[in-house]
Structure 1
């Protein structure tokens, strides 16, 4: 007997539709779901193999507690009691803010919402943030400054093939979200122009009409140079600028200081190529700019995204059909995860936690006094950096849910040391991740196919993952464990383990906010293949396209960003003469905690590597596959050489999915964007050396595989 359930992929922000078929209660198969509009049945290798995660071999199946330095099996009561007693003792000794919470961009909306509530009501701490801070926080900040509202795409994916010219900056959907690539192919088939800007010639860049390869960290100067050319060559849509924007004067002055020859010196992109791109985009009737992590994961990421939004505004390609700026959100629920309370400064509905009216509204829904709600807390890296610090201000206990910072955080050796210095680390996860291995208490949680809950994809489409199989005996859902922990901390009411009940509360909490879900229900999502927010009432159709009538600012006008170029936080020098940039590969995902447990994906992408240009390889005297040591001011990583002309000679690339000696985030720079608090993952200065002997390889990767040298 075979039963099928419509659901969604557990990985990226496309949230591709799929169908799970349970065969005789023994096997679970992934099959196509052609009717879902985002992917129309297409799945990448990660989605096709997603059911492999449901097997018992890769799963946690019982709680674990640390005893005499080792993790051992425990009952749920013992594990939860130990966690609750530990958090209560830390609060009593050091205050509520000495307990922190770090969530994840893969949590359902219901979990993200209840986690924010748990932090503020059950723990009373201001210190909650989530790993989505490392994903698109710069784009979120720039969107809110420019347009008054942050949604990854202000239009559905189906609009991409209908635009005349699209500039994709620092994104590689061919490897990070392959089913989306068809939209870009259709764009070109319809006669549109695809321009890709990336220091590497990626699989996506190979599809482009024009590919620019700027120096890492120079995206801001590039955008300013293109705006300069729009102004100088008479391609500004003056009527649109006057009618629907403010602040053009300052943006114009900054752009005029970035003439093509100056930008060529900064970026390495020839002035003639800049002119070609400016004219293609400026003269197109409609156009879009999409950014990925490349321009966003910088210490000036908010300004960089703002400069690309300026290009759309000046050319009249925003707030119009088939035009606008958008961001390719990375994590599965990176959008919804920050809308409903996981971020340090936000309450549900994208409300500011510092806004008295917002505090009153949410406190009323939660049944608490608004004066008891904490204020803004630390951003993700600031939170991780404070772990174990003695004295006032240090975070001594951490609840971590759906994140693996030992692999994914910048300056990961330092972060690992900080995690080890905690009085109490409690981790909820479906696998024993590298971070869970450091925990005092490990709580095994249900995963995507074993639970029901909503996600919000990069379009702002709220979709429903439906439970298709039963969880293993001994595994519990995160909503249940939050309720159990809250009761042990003295909060007997207000926390639920039924996802639809939690979603109904989320609807009320978000009502009237920017991310308004009040008109969205499980029933509507099932009937309509998802509902776009904002959707403020039951009869409202949802909002697939934002800003067509007005922007979400107080006066309805978009704001130009008054930005100018500045260098990366860390530039190459004699000791560290090369740029390092990082990213993903097709067959792995994020920290690899899930994908590294799937044989088919490991066969395709078995381990880390260092991508370098043949000129650099000759200078180092290294051949394909030989070990390289990459060293930054924070540590050293070792991985085999992969030699290709697809990268600039002054730059090396490493994927960040693996722990151990090849961990790329041992090297990365935690310098933060002052607005978004995004770390500078995409640029740091390194030196690269061949590793000639086995002893040299051991020395290069010496010590704890999860610690920096």
Structure 2
């Protein structure tokens, strides 16, 4: 039977796999050893991905909320699309185009993300569009842009990691978040390189490191500045590289020297000898890398924190050279591509700026509209969600579940409930979809063709492997049908339903842009196991696997140092809330869990939320393993079983964020925003713990 080469629907590795029809209408996963990223390896989520294709767990017909019963009830596609178009048009007519919002997802293919941004701006005329990728790596993207002039998660392929001398991995736990990537760090050590892990928990990844630094949550910026201070004090800067390839060193050096290592030790809790050891491990070999993830990025100072780690790379000459550099481990499946092509509030396709007249003119010419008709920048993701039910009265949401995934989630849920109209296009009936007026069942990864861009900037092609169930349509079909109803045949033609036709338009829209896809085609992707952007038309067929080796993407070709100083988290412990909460993932679940919580094997491995705390803290509270604990912040209260372990700091507790209900971790988290990236401070907030009596009614999250 015919086997289809494709990619996993989950994280940004986009692991290669083969799908073989089973004869019962489903598919089985087989290894695809030739694909270079994972070389056949798959985690449990990838192996079980076909389970969500089952009609038993996914949506197979549109649902419309009945005025008579108040319940979501089956409807025809014509009825559902009519209702959505009427709801959006009614709101726009009564309150103006910016009263209609659009919220996208980092799992949408490039074609769908591109079309959604276009749909918001020319079909609805609204500026109010953003996506859940704002919660993923927007701080790293902002820091990348101001240092290098270009944002691509990794400026080099993963295969370069084992060839470097030392990696500092900051706030990342690939052993659980992207297990097939762990082999690159194992190979690094086998080759004689060293691994330093920065994490307040001794995670499965940290346990394999040569050095584990465990700072207090929210102090990564101070840690990076302390390391740079020691680099300068010990004469380990690369002065030739600084002079030839950078600007802004004098101001950055002065800022770092104000952060004395002894002070950094007090702020972070990392002993000074460990700081010196880290500097020695990083600076002794000729090459090195710093890789960050959500830990340092999901902070109200995340952009400056990432800039501090980039400064460390630049000062030591570990950027713009082979097997050296700074990179970000993107989280969501198409987190990279999703933010390149117009889902973000301030961007047009190809990473063009919405405020740039030349960019507006180019994209408008591809779309066949007047540049002046394009709206300006809108609200960032949390600000958009916070405005629901007030300034923004109707929302079209595709591929996201903010009721579980947004910070201050109980408040976000209340704002969603306050909407005049909500339409959700999704694969499953998520917690957010349950609140909708209309739910549209859409195709999944194995049922549609389209491209994604992985954390390396490698553009990949997923091929359709099986026919979707009757009653399910693609997101492209949804936008086409809505465009027809909102603007007639002319507007309908602007939203093709063929993914390859959309991609051909995307190529034209990105020509000459920072994220230039104009030289990429479906055929080229298949022939080469992916093409790295930028790939201008007429350029090398493989694109650009390694960025910045000759020059950086700034006007003068030099990287820019950014002077930064440590500042506290937006919320610190006090007498009422004496502990720090940090959140993250577990290996068997993914993001809000909307899909993975429907897979029996994954639920058996990770059946529900928990509160991880140190034995000393547990003894002080009288907490016992498996007994319920209440975690309380200024935003709400949640309850989950205790998990007692010495792998976490005694002043810190940890919760995974995959579950709704009384164990919803994001009920607690702080929406304080980074001033540059508008990233919320997911990674640290002040909490207290309260024992919950056995058999008592746990107070619900509020």
In 1, Cα distance between the equivalents of 2:106 and 2:532? 19
Q: How does 1:603-618 map to 2 (within 5 A)?
A: 603-618=604-619
Match of 2:578 in 1: 577
Tell me by how many angstroms 1:24 deviates.
2.3
In 1, Cα distance between the equivalents of 2:253 and 2:501? 51
State whether structure 2 residue 562 is matched by structure 1 residue 561: yes
Tell me by how many angstroms 1:492 deviates.
3.2
Match of 2:461 in 1: 464
Match of 2:536 in 1: 536
- Determine helix, strand or coil for the equivalent of 1:652: strand
- Determine helix, strand or coil for the equivalent of 1:3: coil
Match of 1:493 in 2: 493
State whether structure 2 residue 388 is matched by structure 1 residue 387: yes
Match of 1:477 in 2: 474
In 2, Cα distance between the equivalents of 1:665 and 1:371? 39
Q: How does 1:166-565 map to 2 (within 5 A)?
A: 166-389=167-390, 394-490=391-487, 491-541=491-541, 542-565=543-566
Tell me by how many angstroms 1:519 deviates.
0.4
User: In terms of mean alpha carbon deviation, does 452-461 or 66-75 score higher?
Assistant: 66-75
In 1, Cα distance between the equivalents of 2:380 and 2:266? 35
| Gap runs ≥5 in structure 2 | none
**8 Å CA contact 1:3, 1:23 repeated in 2:** no
Summarize deviations over 1:670-704 as a string: whole Å, max 9, x none.
00000000000000000001101322xx2422xxx
Summarize deviations over 1:552-603 as a string: whole Å, max 9, x none.
0000010111100000000000000000000000000000000000000000
- Determine helix, strand or coil for the equivalent of 1:694: coil
User: In terms of mean alpha carbon deviation, does 343-352 or 62-71 score higher?
Assistant: 62-71
Tell me by how many angstroms 1:539 deviates.
4.5
State whether structure 2 residue 68 is matched by structure 1 residue 44: no
Q: How does 1:124-203 map to 2 (within 5 A)?
A: 124-203=125-204
In 2, Cα distance between the equivalents of 1:356 and 1:243? 33
Q: Using structure 1 for the length normalisation, give the TM-score.
A: 0.98
Match of 2:109 in 1: 108
- Determine helix, strand or coil for the equivalent of 1:107: coil
In 2, Cα distance between the equivalents of 1:621 and 1:351? 55
In 2, Cα distance between the equivalents of 1:40 and 1:693? 48
In 2, Cα distance between the equivalents of 1:176 and 1:42? 14
- Determine helix, strand or coil for the equivalent of 1:700: coil
Tell me by how many angstroms 1:494 deviates.
0.8
In 2, Cα distance between the equivalents of 1:395 and 1:660? 26
In 1, Cα distance between the equivalents of 2:680 and 2:649? 23
Tell me by how many angstroms 1:23 deviates.
2.2
**8 Å CA contact 2:19, 2:28 repeated in 1:** yes
In 1, Cα distance between the equivalents of 2:693 and 2:665? 20
Q: Using structure 2 for the length normalisation, give the TM-score.
A: 0.99
Summarize deviations over 1:308-347 as a string: whole Å, max 9, x none.
0000000000000000000000000000000000000000
Match of 1:7 in 2: 6
In 2, Cα distance between the equivalents of 1:26 and 1:361? 44
- Determine helix, strand or coil for the equivalent of 2:350: coil
What CA RMSD, in Å, does the superposition of the two structures yield over aligned residues?
Answer: 0.7
**8 Å CA contact 1:520, 1:538 repeated in 2:** no
In 1, Cα distance between the equivalents of 2:357 and 2:661? 46
Summarize deviations over 1:625-675 as a string: whole Å, max 9, x none.
000000000001100000000000000000000000000000000000000
In 2, Cα distance between the equivalents of 1:656 and 1:699? 19
In 2, Cα distance between the equivalents of 1:539 and 1:55? 42
State whether structure 2 residue 673 is matched by structure 1 residue 676: no
| Gap runs ≥5 in structure 1 | 702-707
- Determine helix, strand or coil for the equivalent of 1:416: helix
